[in-house]
């Protein structure tokens, strides 16, 4: 079996006193090489399971997938339903061939889209790699199937004027919540999971958690707090309603979730955008906005990767390349606070008159 060596995987095959070794990027690739090498050397393989139907295989995999977030689980569950409809629940998973996998993905490409086919390809590949790791199967029928051509849907990144108008209509607590995104580029789930233990007022740092680690494990990153974010969270700490709760942002509206940390806030952004009279956008658009600000200020790609919490700079580069960049000269997070203060000062002067 392969073993970890640095960031790669080394695998060895010994036959008749001769040792063969190879280094691969992933464990699944190392296992696949090991299987192929044993075939070349005509080393008897372990006997395949006599019968493992697709339904049992998928059911066991979905139990494993529940360790991940709900969106990932739903994506994998949808794939399994389509596989059962296409291949039937009784087929032996060891008998699924690359041709069958190709035909299934071609069908998704024609009936749905290239993007949908690629998403199924990615999840199908992970499904079979999981089976290889547990020695349920010994090959991945999807490993050599190429990515399908697809066209990405354009993503919307709000212009700075709309972000200013959005902030101008917020209450203090709403503004504090948005500051956590605008001053860190955090995912909404990272803000929902934020606890007071993650806030270090003395060191002026904030710790964010996500489930992007290998196998769905929690992964953290610590960022320095700007003065603006520090002031927002310090006010929030001193004016919090739920003194005993470890969470920073708590649902204070009467209902079944009263006193509990937020999990979605589905209508929050839509309501603010409507109040501000601007085009509706969601939390992730603010994350793209932060990326565009950093990119416009020529912040190195590696630093943007750290801020956004991406695993590689390649993801960050692709992320930024999809953003609107027609307002680079005007985007500046510090100007957002200044413009917001100027707007409040203007409104106060109008009231005095």
Tell me the H-state helices in 134-265.
160-168, 172-182, 188-192, 227-238
The CATH number given to whatever domain includes residue 306 is 1.10.443.10
Is there a domain that residue 143 lies in? no
How much is the pLDDT for 41? 79
Let me know whether 320 and 285 are in one domain. Answer: yes
Is there a domain that residue 45 lies in? no
Let me know whether 79 and 211 are in one domain. Answer: no
Let me know whether 243 and 328 are in one domain. Answer: yes
Let me know whether 184 and 305 are in one domain. Answer: yes
Let me know whether 195 and 331 are in one domain. Answer: yes
Is there a domain that residue 90 lies in? yes
| Global confidence as pTM | 0.65
How much is the pLDDT for 9? 85
User: Side-chain half-sphere of 54: how many Cα atoms within 13 Å?
Assistant: 18
Is there a domain that residue 142 lies in? no
CA dihedral defined by 352, 232, 290, 163, rounded to 10 degrees?
Answer: -30
Is there a domain that residue 49 lies in? no
Tell me the H-state helices in 134-226.
160-168, 172-182, 188-192
d(Cα 70, Cα 59) in Å, to the nearest integer? 16
Let me know whether 252 and 182 are in one domain. Answer: yes
How much is the pLDDT for 154? 74
Is there a domain that residue 140 lies in? no
How much is the pLDDT for 178? 96
Is there a domain that residue 212 lies in? yes
Let me know whether 247 and 302 are in one domain. Answer: yes
Structural domain that includes position 126 = 54-133
Let me know whether 106 and 195 are in one domain. Answer: no
Let me know whether 75 and 31 are in one domain. Answer: no
Is there a domain that residue 141 lies in? no
Let me know whether 66 and 36 are in one domain. Answer: no
How much is the pLDDT for 268? 94
How much is the pLDDT for 313? 87
- 211, 69 contact by CB (below 8 A): yes
Q: How many distinct structural domains can be found in the chain? A: 3
Last residue of one domain, picked from the residues 133, 148, 169 = 133
Let me know whether 190 and 330 are in one domain. Answer: yes
How much is the pLDDT for 276? 96
Burial of 277 (0-12, 13-18, 19+ CB in 10 A): exposed
pLDDT in tens, the chain (353 residues): 677 777 888 888 887 778 888 888 888 888 888 888 888 877 765 555 557 899 999 999 999 888 777 788 899 999 999 999 999 999 999 889 999 999 999 999 999 999 999 999 999 999 999 998 888 888 899 988 999 997 767 788 899 999 999 999 999 999 999 999 999 999 999 999 999 999 999 999 999 998 765 656 778 999 999 999 999 999 999 999 999 999 999 998 888 888 899 988 889 999 999 999 999 999 999 999 999 889 888 899 999 999 999 888 888 887 777 664 433 333 344 445 554 555 555 555 555 55
Q: Which long-range contacts (CB under 8 A, 24 or more apart) does 38-43 make?
A: 38/13, 41/13, 41/15, 43/13, 43/15
Let me know whether 62 and 34 are in one domain. Answer: no
């Amino acid at each position: 079996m392969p073993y970890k060596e640095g960031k790669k995987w080394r695998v060895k095959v010994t036959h008749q006193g001769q040792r063969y070794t190879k280094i691969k990027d992933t464990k699944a690739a190392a296992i696949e090489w090991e299987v192929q090498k044993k075939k070349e050397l005509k080393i008897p393989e372990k006997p395949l399971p006599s019968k493992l139907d697709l339904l049992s295989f998928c059911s066991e995999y979905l139990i494993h997938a529940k360790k991940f977030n709900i969106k990932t689980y739903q994506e994998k569950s949808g794939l399994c339903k389509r596989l059962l409809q296409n291949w039937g629940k009784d087929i032996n998973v060891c008998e699924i061939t690359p041709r069958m996998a190709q035909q299934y993905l071609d069908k998704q490409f024609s009936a749905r889209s290239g993007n949908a086919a690629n998403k199924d390809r990615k999840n199908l590949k992970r499904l079979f790699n999981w089976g290889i790791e547990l020695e349920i199967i010994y090959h991945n029928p999807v490993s050599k199937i190429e990515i399908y051509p697809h066209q990405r849907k354009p993503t919307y990144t709000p212009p700075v004027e709309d972000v200013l108008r959005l902030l101008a209509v917020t209450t203090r607590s709403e503004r504090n919540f948005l500051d956590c995104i605008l001053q860190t580029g955090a995912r909404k789930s990272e803000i929902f999971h934020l606890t007071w233990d993650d806030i270090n007022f003395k060191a002026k740092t904030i710790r964010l958690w996500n489930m992007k680690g290998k196998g769905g494990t929690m992964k953290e990153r610590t960022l320095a707090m700007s003065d603006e974010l520090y002031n927002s969270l310090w006010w929030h700490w001193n004016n919090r309603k739920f003194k005993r709760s470890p969470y920073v942002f708590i649902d204070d509206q009467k209902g079944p979730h009263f006193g509990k940390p937020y999990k979605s806030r589905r209508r929050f952004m839509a309501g603010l955008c409507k109040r501000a009279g601007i085009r509706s956008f969601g939390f992730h658009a603010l994350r793209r906005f932060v990326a565009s600000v950093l990119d416009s200020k020529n912040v190195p790609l590696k630093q943007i990767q750290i801020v956004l919490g991406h695993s590689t700079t390649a993801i960050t580069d692709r992320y930024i390349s999809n953003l609107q960049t027609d307002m680079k000269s005007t985007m500046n997070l510090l100007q957002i606070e200044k413009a917001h203060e100027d707007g409040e000062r203007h409104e106060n002067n109008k009231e005095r008159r």
